[in-house]
């Protein structure tokens, strides 16, 4: 089984590979530039599959990495437009085995295809598990009084999980057709059936993980919103209590500020302190009434 992995190939390099393996010109044109949607195509002696594998972005979002698979009975061609860690790690594993003379990986076509595709989904699962660690940190921050700081973080995690969920859902149909074609009697036959089932199980497992973590993120968002709302209600409650306490004091101060012919208390010895004492007494009585009524 020959595996050719092309990273951002030039037109001449791509044409040489396509000619060597007798790949149709239409496939070459499809590979030249990124395709925004998954695609499956079956030819006489090979199958063509385009999948987009999301990855978390350093800025907090997520982006898609396109991988094109061309599979024949004796060859596998993968085309990508950037470095993809899971494929590079598989390269290194093969190189190490070649150098050490211990070829643990099967060189048969079906086994190689299973390794490459499953490793892509394994990489997605690891990224989803990293997002789960972020959710744990968010939960700790929420219940440690950092509700406002976590609003943006929850939103970023939600966007990442949404991108993963959307990509995995869009994989289902083209990947299913791809695995069905490879399991047909005209291709690898029954020998590939179990491998196809394992690949689909890996995709379904990642999809289930994403769905569960999206539910967790939604629950954390609702909890955070409730705590923010409660905090705002408490703040408004304090301001309302202060306003109610000051209202009678303002009224009393206004009465003594009236310029009338007869002004009780005013003009007496220590009249200022008498008014201040009256204001304090009324304020304390108002606060006690509010406390008894559980208004504050």
Domain ranges of the chain: 2-231, 232-292
Q: Are 91 and 5 in contact (CB under 8 A)?
A: yes
Category of 283 on φ-ψ map: left (φ > 0), alpha (ψ -120 to 50) or beta: alpha
Range with lowest mean pLDDT among 23-32, 117-126, 146-155, 194-203: 146-155
Distance CA 22, CA 20 (A): 6
**Closest residue by Cα to residue 165 from 128, 196, 202:** 128
Structure confidence by residue, pLDDT tens digits, 56-67: 875 667 788 999
Average pLDDT, the chain: 84
Question: How many other C-beta atoms can be found within 10 angstroms of the C-beta atom of residue 73?
Answer: 13
Return the residue matching tokens 């929850």: 154
User: What pLDDT, on the 0 to 100 scale, is given for residue 38?
Assistant: 93
Yes or no: is domain 2-231 CATH 3.30.460.20? Answer: yes
Beta partners for 71? Answer: 47, 76
Reported pTM: 0.74
Structure confidence by residue, pLDDT tens digits, 73-121: 999 999 998 888 778 778 777 777 777 766 555 556 788 899 899 999 9
User: What pLDDT, on the 0 to 100 scale, is given for residue 43?
Assistant: 87
Structure confidence by residue, pLDDT tens digits, 218-246: 998 888 888 777 776 667 777 777 787 78
User: What pLDDT, on the 0 to 100 scale, is given for residue 75?
Assistant: 93
Distance CA 52, CA 54 (A): 6
Highest mean pLDDT among 98-107, 202-211, 220-229, 255-264: 202-211
User: What pLDDT, on the 0 to 100 scale, is given for residue 58?
Assistant: 55
CATH classification (class only), 232-292: mainly alpha
């Amino acid at each position: 089984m020959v595996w050719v992995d092309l990273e951002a190939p030039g037109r001449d390099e791509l044409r040489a590979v396509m000619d060597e393996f007798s790949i149709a010109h239409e496939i070459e044109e499809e590979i030249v530039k990124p395709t925004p949607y998954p695609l499956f195509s079956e030819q006489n002696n090979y199958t063509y599959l385009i999948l987009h594998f999301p990855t978390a972005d350093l800025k907090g979002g997520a982006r898609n990495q396109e991988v094109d698979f061309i599979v024949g009975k004796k060859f596998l061609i993968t085309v990508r437009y950037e470095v993809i860690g899971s494929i590079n790690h598989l390269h290194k594993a093969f190189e190490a085995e070649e150098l050490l003379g211990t070829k643990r990986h099967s060189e048969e076509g079906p086994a190689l295809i299973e390794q490459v595709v499953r490793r892509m989904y394994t990489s997605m699962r690891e990224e989803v598990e990293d997002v789960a660690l972020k959710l744990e940190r968010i939960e700790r921050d929420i219940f440690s009084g950092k509700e406002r700081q976590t609003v943006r973080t929850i939103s970023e995690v939600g966007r990442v999980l949404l991108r993963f969920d959307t990509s995995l859902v869009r994989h289902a149909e083209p990947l299913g057709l791809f695995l069905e074609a490879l399991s047909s009697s005209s291709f690898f036959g029954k020998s590939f059936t179990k491998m196809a089932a394992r690949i689909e199980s890996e995709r379904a497992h990642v999809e289930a993980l994403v769905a569960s973590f999206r539910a967790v993120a939604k629950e954390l968002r609702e909890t955070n919103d409730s705590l923010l709302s409660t905090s705002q209600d408490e703040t408004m409650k304090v301001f309302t209590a202060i306003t109610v306490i000051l209202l009678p004091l303002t009224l009393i101060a206004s009465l003594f500020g009236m310029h009338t012919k007869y002004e009780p208390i005013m003009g007496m010895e220590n009249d200022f302190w008498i008014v201040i004492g009256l204001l304090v007494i009324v304020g304390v009585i108002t606060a006690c009434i509010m406390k008894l009524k559980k208004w504050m």
